[in-house]
Structure 1
Amino acid sequence: MYTGGPTSGNWSWWPSWRPTSMSLLKSAEAKILACIQNNVWSRFVTLPNQNRIWTLKVTNKTALKYKDQAAQTPLVMIHGFGGGVGLWIRNLDALSHSRPVYVFDLLGFGRSSRPSFPSDSSLAEEQFVSSIEQWRQSLGLERMILLGHSLGGYLATSYTIQYPERVSHLILVDAWGFPERPQPQLQESGDQGSQLKRVSPPRWVKALASVFSLFNPLAVIRAAGPWGPGLVNRFRPDFKRKFEDLFEDDTMTQYIYHCNAQSPSGEVGFKAMSESLGWAKRPMVQRVNLLPPSTPVSMLYGSLSWVDSSTGHTVIQIRGKSPTSVTLIEDASHHVYADQPEEFNRVVESICNTVD
């Protein structure tokens, strides 16, 4: 089976030996979505440029009897890097209790179209953001509560800056790309006066980073060929554990594998936007002042996450009197929504209830 393509760069000629395809991704996803108890509407939303965004709308089964849910502001959730709609499986039923919930695969990820992305960071970001706006227009959503996890949080903020009238409340979950990269620090060094001391990772980390900078972030999964699924299981056993009460087998790691073993596209866009070791080239903390002062922003962090929650307090300072809050969810790592789903759902629902 050949899964190369115009977006796979110099390797498009490689006869693919990866045990993946879009139909295998569809099957893995279907197994996950079968857990949803509420009504699910799913389809591809076609954008004006013919790219397609894979979309789910989840509504309360009893909402047919009560017209009030239709009047509620919908919650739209954007997944993080390398993710897809299936990762929200612990949240969709609970959060669609009182309002419609929309989730979609970002352009270049999951089952959505995988177009080429520019290598310029601002142009790549704009391609993601404009696809979200075209998606919204196609569905006719006037206003929404916008929630983004990790990379999705970065893009949700960028979207809200550009289209503020569409967002009633911005919820950022362990958002990526906010802090500025640490600068060299001044340190007194005896009689030599002030010297620049660079905050620097170990040499081996820099060596690895320079090698990996030549590749797309998830290239190793594709290069592993038939060993790719096992590699995901080995390096991300936490994904199996997070969902083990729903699936005893490798359903979730298979889903992650099939999401990321296709031709890279969104990965290319992400790489354009990021510097080595995961910093954003255009840190969002430099732009949060452009959010409308009246737009409420709620920032959620996992207490055990690698994302530094102190950035949230920086955002509070920058926004001054604008409604901004930081909530730490205990015993949760980066994937807050899957680590502590009950608490995550409770916090998000209470935020949504402040809107309507």
Structure 2
Amino acid sequence: MWSTVYGVFAVALLAFVIRSLPRYLYNRAQRMAWMQCLIKGRWLNTSTEEHAISERRMLEMVTTPIEQKFVKVGQYQINTIKTGSGDPLVMVHGFGSALGFWCANIDFLSQYYTVYAIDVLGFGRSSRFDTTNIKTPEQAEEFWVNIMYEWTEQVGLDNFNLLGHSLGGYLSTCFTLKHPEKVKSLVLADAWGFAEKPKDYEQNVSLFFKFLSKVIAPPVPLRLMRKFGPFGQDYIYLFRQDLLNKFHHLYPEDDLKYNPERPNRVAEYFYHSNTQEPASGEYLFSLLAMAYGFAANPLINRASMIAPTVDVTLLFGSNTWIDQATGPKLKQEMKNIKDVVIIEDSGHHIYIDNIHQFNQAVLKATGYHNDAPAAAQS
């Protein structure tokens, strides 16, 4: 199976380079960008300085003063931003993402909370690390949860609201299970990793879908983007227009087509965030995940053990690929499930698909009741 998958990668890489090469040869700016990569002796057109610049561009719409720093946790650095005032709210992003993707939510939420947004270790501008001794889902989970705990200790957070999206929702749940005394309320935004794979699932899956699940498994597209080297940003414009379009209303001046003289900030930030090496965050996620998007240790079997002192709210996109059925099931089993909310007109990225309803849902989940107009949140 994997030999076939890598064969497809090789063909895709060749086809993509052939498709992109004329633009690099005949467009002066693109040709210069490519030549700079060769002169600097690097295949990936990225650096820590360029990554930092892309983060600042991503956060340009945020008007609240931001304090950015790297919090030292043992031998690692956790990229952290802090803003606002009030009860602490810690925001944990999903797979392949980074703290800058909360840009549409920070200003509003910082009116009510002291907002902390972090880059999960192994993603964004946080440290990459040696994964040699991490070989099982349990070890990966424990490693990330321990890092999160040590981060809260370094920052001085004893009790806080915790908001996690996708993989961040999984890690936030695992953290709450182990350290309930730290968490006042848990808000799970289209959280990954709850549903359990049915025993007969693979019997009802076609060979084509089995093959496709290998090709589009989350670590694979990011790995492929790095293989494209200087063509990598062009890859984002071709395959992730959905992501660029979600943020286009925030930065309408950004081109939706590749322009190295004025790159789209979302594409640029996504590229720099996912071309840092080693890809340790992706490796840990590959341990947590099984085929077809299921978790190796699904949380549906463990979430009911969350301490009753923690209020839990589940948010789902109305059009998400995440299994929404886990919400009502957990609500029946857990007395501390405060609410299960469907964010209308949203897919998986509910924080940007419906900014107004998402922000309001977060307020309600943590005890606030606010009826601010949508215009104030977009």
Check whether the contact 1:217–1:267 (CA below 8 A) recurs between aligned residues.
no
Q: How far 1:212 sits from its partner (Å)?
A: 7.0
Q: Which residue of 2 aligns with 1:220?
A: 224
Give the AA of the match of 1:295: V
Q: Which residue of 1 aligns with 2:286?
A: 271
Q: How far 1:322 sits from its partner (Å)?
A: 2.6
Q: How far 1:317 sits from its partner (Å)?
A: 1.9
Q: For residues 106 and 269 of structure 1, what CA distance do their matches in structure 2 show?
A: 11
> Residue 62 of structure 2 is aligned with which of 25, 36, 54?
36
Q: How far 1:352 sits from its partner (Å)?
A: 2.4
Check whether the contact 2:217–2:292 (CA below 8 A) recurs between aligned residues.
no
1:278-305 Cα distance to aligned partner (Å, 9 max, x none): 2100001111121012311100011011
Q: For residues 83 and 322 of structure 1, what CA distance do their matches in structure 2 show?
A: 29
Q: How far 1:211 sits from its partner (Å)?
A: 6.3
Q: For residues 218 and 310 of structure 2, what CA distance do their matches in structure 1 show?
A: 39
286-295 or 201-210: bigger deviation:
201-210
**Paired residue secondary structure (2:46):** coil
Check whether the contact 1:217–1:271 (CA below 8 A) recurs between aligned residues.
no
Check whether the contact 2:160–2:184 (CA below 8 A) recurs between aligned residues.
yes
Q: Which residue of 1 aligns with 2:50?
A: 24
Q: For residues 327 and 308 of structure 1, what CA distance do their matches in structure 2 show?
A: 13
Q: CA RMSD in A?
A: 1.9
> Residue 58 of structure 1 is aligned with which of 83, 89, 93?
83
Q: Which residue of 2 aligns with 1:230?
A: 234
Q: How does 1:289-300 map to 2 (within 5 A)?
A: 289-300=304-315
Check whether the contact 2:312–2:365 (CA below 8 A) recurs between aligned residues.
no
Q: Which residue of 1 aligns with 2:90?
A: 76
Check whether the contact 1:76–1:147 (CA below 8 A) recurs between aligned residues.
yes
1:201 aligns with 2:216: no
**Paired residue secondary structure (1:353):** coil
Check whether the contact 1:119–1:268 (CA below 8 A) recurs between aligned residues.
no
Q: For residues 49 and 209 of structure 2, what CA distance do their matches in structure 1 show?
A: 37
253-262 or 141-150: bigger deviation:
253-262
Q: How far 1:306 sits from its partner (Å)?
A: 0.7
Q: For residues 158 and 125 of structure 2, what CA distance do their matches in structure 1 show?
A: 25
Q: For residues 114 and 16 of structure 1, what CA distance do their matches in structure 2 show?
A: 18
1:350 aligns with 2:368: no
1:261 aligns with 2:286: no
**Paired residue secondary structure (1:89):** helix
| Unaligned stretches of 5+ residues in structure 2 | 1-40, 255-263, 370-378
**Paired residue secondary structure (2:66):** strand
1:100-146 Cα distance to aligned partner (Å, 9 max, x none): 10000000000000112312101001111111100000000111100
Q: Which residue of 1 aligns with 2:167?
A: 151
Q: How far 1:353 sits from its partner (Å)?
A: 3.1
Q: Which residue of 2 aligns with 1:64?
A: none
| Unaligned stretches of 5+ residues in structure 1 | 1-14, 60-68, 186-197
> Residue 138 of structure 1 is aligned with which of 136, 150, 154?
154
206-215 or 155-164: bigger deviation:
206-215
Check whether the contact 2:186–2:313 (CA below 8 A) recurs between aligned residues.
yes
1:297-353 Cα distance to aligned partner (Å, 9 max, x none): 10001101111211111111221x333321001101100001111111111122223
Change (3 A) 1:96 1:214: closer
Question: What TM-score, normalized by structure 1, do the two folds share?
Answer: 0.85
Q: For residues 119 and 108 of structure 2, what CA distance do their matches in structure 1 show?
A: 20
Q: How far 1:207 sits from its partner (Å)?
A: 2.7
More helix by share: 2
Q: For residues 322 and 215 of structure 1, what CA distance do their matches in structure 2 show?
A: 34
Q: How far 1:209 sits from its partner (Å)?
A: 3.9
Sequence identity (%): 38
129-138 or 219-228: bigger deviation:
219-228
Q: Which residue of 2 aligns with 1:303?
A: 318
Q: How far 1:205 sits from its partner (Å)?
A: 2.5
Q: Which residue of 2 aligns with 1:95?
A: 109
**Paired residue secondary structure (1:90):** helix
Give the AA of the match of 2:80: T
Change (3 A) 1:98 1:322: closer
Check whether the contact 2:217–2:293 (CA below 8 A) recurs between aligned residues.
no
**Paired residue secondary structure (2:104):** coil
